[in-house]
């Protein structure tokens, strides 16, 4: 990775933001659409309602002429067509994908980037072939320690020009769950989701699942791509080497009850029995074991569906006897390791991994 002077902003880092959202954040929010929270009603997010996040422009790749190059520390370099990949053993996995930047817009001060609130998440049925089949065909050399994945999209971040790329340790890449995915909910990938081929890394935050995947390289050293060494790290202060971002943290969301006000999205609920419902998930295939709902600060346990798919969210429900007045609802998940959601965001320089509890203001009449 060669760092060059930032051609757009000089060498200064972008200052953090407070208060009103900037025009640039608004532009990113339009490009990278969110899950409408009422779509939490679906276990599998319908096409078009799944969130999407792309750093640069969406490349237009032609499926017929598509080739996936596999090279580096391998016995045989490969150039696979989409049909060749489709002929490899197929798997379909139901996977909840969440952007590592989800919740960034709720941290203060904010990192100038995509200002997600809660909605950078979705669940799809992904079909593809386990990556290991392609790796076995290529014959990964004994000295290879990592596999790098490169997309067809290119741009600048913080002065560094690069193809979007990420890597996995060879052992992680060899899991049967890591897919070369060519279909989402039974349909060919849409352009924004990586058409015609993407990597899908269940249990990790979304950045690992490289879209428009065109090159795979086996490396005998750590991958030094920008999105690996600079982009996705938890840092407490500027210059902090930080720690790499990997698995998703436990999180839960509620479909806001009642009806909204068009502009403020505040909720109006009729008094009486109200069923609150939503979804909860964690990373690394770890199950959620408990969801609590807070009503005006008093927490009670919700009914939780068991984990049916290792990498997909679990539904929860809670019967609320709503009494007239102003109320604050909140939801908090705990996973099988005992990890739970913090009540307040845990700040880091780039607004990553914010799994603080969601709060919903409700007026009951
Ligand atoms: N090539 C490429 N792959 C990428 C990205 C990208 O910008 N370029 N964005 C990543 C990030 S940050 C996320 S959260 C997921 C989003 O996947 P989706 O748009 O299908 O929801 O893709 C990841 N893969
Ligand atoms: Mo992301």
365 residues of the chain, pLDDT tens digit each? 555 567 776 656 788 999 999 999 999 999 999 999 999 999 999 999 999 999 999 999 999 999 999 999 999 999 999 999 999 999 999 999 999 999 999 999 999 999 999 999 999 999 999 999 999 999 999 999 999 999 999 999 999 999 999 999 999 999 999 999 999 999 999 999 999 999 999 999 999 999 999 999 999 999 999 999 999 999 999 999 999 999 999 999 999 999 999 999 999 999 999 999 999 999 999 999 999 999 999 999 999 999 999 999 999 999 999 999 999 999 999 999 999 999 999 999 999 999 999 999 999 99
C-beta 52 within 6 A of ligand 1: yes
Q: Say how far residue 126 (Cα) sits from the centre of its chain.
A: 14
Sorted by sequence, the CB contacts under 8 Å of residue 77 that are 6+ apart come out as: 69, 70, 71, 138
Interval between CA 205 and ligand 2 midpoint (Å): 7
Interval between CA 113 and ligand 1 midpoint (Å): 14
Indicate whether this model's pTM tops 0.75: yes
- Counting ligand 1 atoms within 8 A of each CB, the residue from 28, 33, 55, 180 with the most, and so the one to mutate, is 55
C-beta 151 within 6 A of ligand 1: yes
Interval between CA 40 and ligand 1 midpoint (Å): 21
Print burial letters for 105-141: b (CB count within 10 Å at least 16), e (below 16).
bbbeebbbbbbbebbbbbbbbbbbbbbbbbbebbebe
C-beta 124 within 6 A of ligand 1: no
Residue 68 is predicted with a pLDDT of 99
C-beta 269 within 6 A of ligand 1: no
Counting from 1 in the atom list of ligand 1, the atom nearest the Cα of 32 is 19
Q: Which ligand is nearest to the CA of 163?
A: 1
C-beta 227 within 6 A of ligand 1: no
Domains of the chain (ranges; CATH) run 23-241 (3.90.420.10), 251-364 (2.60.40.650)
Interval between CA 265 and ligand 1 midpoint (Å): 28
Report the nearest-CA residue for atom 18 of ligand 1.
Answer: 52
- Find where tokens 């990113």 sit: 28
List beta partners, residue 251: 281
C-beta 153 within 6 A of ligand 1: yes
Counting from 1 in the atom list of ligand 1, the atom nearest the Cα of 50 is 21
Report the nearest-CA residue for atom 20 of ligand 1.
Answer: 193
Using an 8 Å Cβ cutoff, are 70 and 134 in contact? yes
C-beta 202 within 6 A of ligand 1: no
Residue 3 is predicted with a pLDDT of 53
Interval between CA 293 and ligand 1 midpoint (Å): 31
Residue 14 is predicted with a pLDDT of 81
- Counting ligand 1 atoms within 8 A of each CB, the residue from 98, 124, 155, 194 with the most, and so the one to mutate, is 194
Counting from 1 in the atom list of ligand 1, the atom nearest the Cα of 205 is 14
Residue 5 is predicted with a pLDDT of 64
C-beta 104 within 6 A of ligand 1: no
Sorted by sequence, the CB contacts under 8 Å of residue 186 that are 6+ apart come out as: 125, 127
Using an 8 Å Cβ cutoff, are 328 and 360 in contact? yes
Counting from 1 in the atom list of ligand 1, the atom nearest the Cα of 54 is 7
Residue 11 is predicted with a pLDDT of 59
């Amino acid at each position: 990775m060669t760092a060059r002077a930032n051609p757009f902003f000089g060498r200064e880092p972008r200052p953090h933001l407070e208060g009103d959202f900037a025009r640039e954040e608004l532009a990113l929010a339009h490009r990278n659409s969110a899950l409408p929270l009422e779509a939490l009603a679906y276990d599998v997010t319908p096409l078009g309602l799944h969130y999407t996040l792309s750093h640069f422009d969406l490349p237009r790749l032609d499926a017929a002429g598509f080739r996936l190059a596999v090279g580096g520390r391998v016995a045989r370099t490969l150039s696979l067509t989409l049909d060749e990949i489709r002929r490899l053993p197929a798997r379909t996995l139901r996977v909840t994908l969440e952007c590592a930047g989800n919740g960034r817009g709720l941290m203060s001060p904010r990192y100038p980037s995509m200002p997600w609130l809660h909605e950078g998440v979705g669940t799809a049925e992904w079909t593809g072939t386990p990556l290991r089949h392609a790796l076995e065909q290529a014959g990964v050399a004994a000295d290879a320690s990592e596999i790098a994945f490169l997309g067809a999209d290119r741009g600048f971040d913080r002065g560094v020009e690069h193809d979007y790329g990420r890597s996995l340790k060879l052992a992680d890449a060899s899991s049967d769950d890591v897919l070369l995915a060519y279909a989402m909910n039974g349909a060919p990938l849409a352009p924004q989701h990586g058409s015609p081929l993407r990597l899908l890394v269940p249990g990790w935050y979304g950045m690992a699942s490289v879209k428009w995947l065109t090159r795979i390289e086996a490396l005998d050293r750590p991958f030094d791509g920008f999105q690996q060494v600079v982009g996705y790290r938890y840092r407490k202060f500027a210059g902090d080497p930080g720690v790499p971002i990997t698995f998703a943290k436990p999180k839960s969301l509620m479909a806001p009850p009642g009806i909204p006000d068009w502009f403020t999205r505040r909720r109006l609920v009729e008094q009486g029995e109200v069923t609150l419902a939503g979804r909860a998930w964690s990373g690394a295939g770890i199950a959620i074991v408990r969801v609590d709902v807070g009503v005006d600060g008093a927490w009670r346990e919700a009914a939780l569906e068991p984990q049916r798919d290792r990498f997909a969210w679990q539904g929860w429900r809670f019967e609320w006897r709503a009494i007239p007045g102003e109320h604050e609802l909140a939801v908090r998940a705990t996973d099988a390791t005992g990890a739970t959601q913090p009540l307040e965001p845990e700040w880091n320089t780039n607004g990553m991994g914010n799994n603080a509890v969601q709060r919903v203001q409700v007026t009951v009449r």
